[in-house]
Structure 1
Amino acid sequence: MEICFRSGVTVELVKHAASDADVIWAARVSTKGESSLADVEADPERSRGLINFLMRDRHGTPFEHSTLTFYVRAPIFVFREFMRHRTFSYNEESGRYRELEPEFYVPAPERKLVQVGKPGRYDFVEGTPEQHALVTEATKEAYRQAYGAYRRMLDAGIAREVARTVLPVGLYSSMYATCNARALMNFLSLRTRREDAAFPSFPQREIEMVAERMEREWAAVMPLTHAAFEANRRVAP
């Protein structure tokens, strides 16, 4: 099988039960009781102020009454960071039960390569053409050797769960990740870098690429909640 090199990620919102109205009826049960069920189909635009109030004062539980399931295909090292977020549910493809496809991550030319500054406040700057050439050449060569060893073991009858041990974290994997809107906002506050955020974050670029695509999908289904998140400087309630 021919080895594939790529520098992007794939993110799809495959199913959801999420809308701004979910926030409204969940919040109003505290004052209206069972009559809040009448708000299940409420016009969220008429309650924009309520959503902003909940976000601003960090009344977070009404944002938990939604679910979003994303399909993500990205390098394994991205998933290892992603799974630090324990408020998601995950199911990932298994190298024990299927032969892993030879698809590997190589940083794109625009990926900044050189780290400057102190941990926690460091930044990245552009690499030289020579540095980019070195990264591209070295990663591709390492991937070819690793996948060649993997294939040789499989062809010799070695179990997949043993053969996979030689594969690097630059290999692409796939998973489903399910969360509610509150958990997603917490993820986005940490895994995107915005100058206007109340609490600056410095995520690795590759997981930020995933987060940016997840945010676009979420903003389309819960636009008022997303706008309130932005207006309140991206602080998760």
Structure 2
Amino acid sequence: MAKNDELQELLQTKNITKRATVQAIEELLYSPIPVLDHGFIRVVDYMGDDSSIVQAARVSYGRGTKKSLQDKGLINYLMRHRHTTPFEMCDIKFHIKLPIFIARQWIRHRTASVNEYSARYSILSNEFYVPEKANLSPQSTINKQGRSTDTLPSEVADRVLSIIKNDSINCYNHYVEMMNEDESGNVIDENNIGITRELARINLTLNTYTEWYWKINLHNLLHFLALRADPHAQYEIRVYAQAMLDVVKAWVPYAYEAFEEHKMYATSISRKGMEVIRQMIDGKKIDQESSGMSKREWDELMVNLKP
């Protein structure tokens, strides 16, 4: 069955359930949300909603109120005071298509269940990520793992894009040649024997697209998003995180609002940092040297205190 036919069949399937459902997520189910040039995320299943968080938190209290404002207040309290287990009562499963080099960065978050497309069993499609010209930047001189804010000269960017495209195409063609199979698995030359798929794949470039199912609870998802939707995260993983933020907002709006307030746009201040702030409030003059903080700590605090 073709992927589009399978998708249409899933979209037309109607299920009856007694469990909590969220209409906004029901409308998103199975529909791909485009990311990058060939990537996407799509929700394939979920469990729980805002009320599930409240229900879990109130187990120890007995029956609680069902008023939405009080539920919202409780969720804010839980988020603010780092009571994480109620948020673990909600789960979501995504189908994600992403470049291999982003998948390898992503998999460092070891708090999800993952099942990836097998390139030992199947043939990877001839799709690879090519950055937009505007997203090509030199290496940062102050951050060993980040981009500079400078842009590349146009002729340099054109040359880089040409190299990426040509290498990707050449490596994929050699991948097919070594297997002696085309993208559909058909033998190319009946007189030749190809090597196994598990070996041929080692010649593919890291911008080749892979796919996986990724299931995670809400607490760990929010931790992932706090790191990967941050402006300091790599652009290519950040756009996936931003798409997921929109899903979370539709799924658990109260939890999303609490997350934005207490995690996403909040900051953590050390004991020394709090002492500096107290002295500033008292009108005392204090600098990095007298604060007892390292230059990096001091600079980070000053950035956080800027209006």
Tell me which interval the TM-score lies in, with the shorter structure as reference length.
0.7 to 0.9
Q: TM-score, with normalisation over the residues of structure 2?
A: 0.67
Paired letter, 2:117: E
Deviates more, 1:113-122 or 1:93-102: 113-122
Indicate yes or no: 2:84 matched with 1:47: no
Aligned to 1:3: none
Bigger fraction of residues in strand: 1
Aligned to 1:198: none
- Aligned identity (percent) is 33
Paired letter, 1:160: R
Paired letter, 2:123: E
Offset, 1:43: 5.4
| 2:112–2:216 contact (8 Å) kept in structure 1 | yes
2:54 to 20, 24, 28: 24
Alpha-carbon distance change, 142 to 184 in structure 1, aligned in 2, over 3 angstroms: same
Offset, 1:123: 4.7
Q: TM-score, with normalisation over the residues of structure 1?
A: 0.85
C-alpha root-mean-square deviation of aligned residues, in Å? 2.0
| 2:91–2:216 contact (8 Å) kept in structure 1 | yes
Paired letter, 2:52: D
Paired letter, 1:95: A
Indicate yes or no: 2:266 matched with 1:229: no
Indicate yes or no: 2:181 matched with 1:151: no
> Which fold has the larger relative contact order, with Cα–Cα distance below 8 Å and residues 6 or more apart in sequence?
1
Aligned to 1:197: none
Alpha-carbon distance change, 90 to 43 in structure 1, aligned in 2, over 3 angstroms: farther
Indicate yes or no: 2:207 matched with 1:170: yes
What CA distance in whole angstroms lies between the structure 2 residues aligned with 1:68 and 1:84? Answer: 19
Offset, 1:8: 5.0
Which structure's CA Rg is the greater one? 2
| 1:95–1:164 contact (8 Å) kept in structure 2 | yes
Q: Deviation digits for residues 167-206 of structure 1, max 9, x if unmatched?
A: 1111000111010110011101111125xxxxxxx21111
2:156 to 116, 131, 134: 131
Offset, 1:119: 2.7
Q: Deviation digits for residues 76-115 of structure 1, max 9, x if unmatched?
A: 0111011101111101101000111110110012314123
Indicate yes or no: 2:221 matched with 1:191: no
What CA distance in whole angstroms lies between the structure 1 residues aligned with 2:38 and 2:176? Answer: 25
Offset, 1:158: 1.3
- Could you tell me which runs of 5 or more consecutive residues in structure 2 were left unpaired when the two chains were aligned: 1-35, 181-192, 268-307
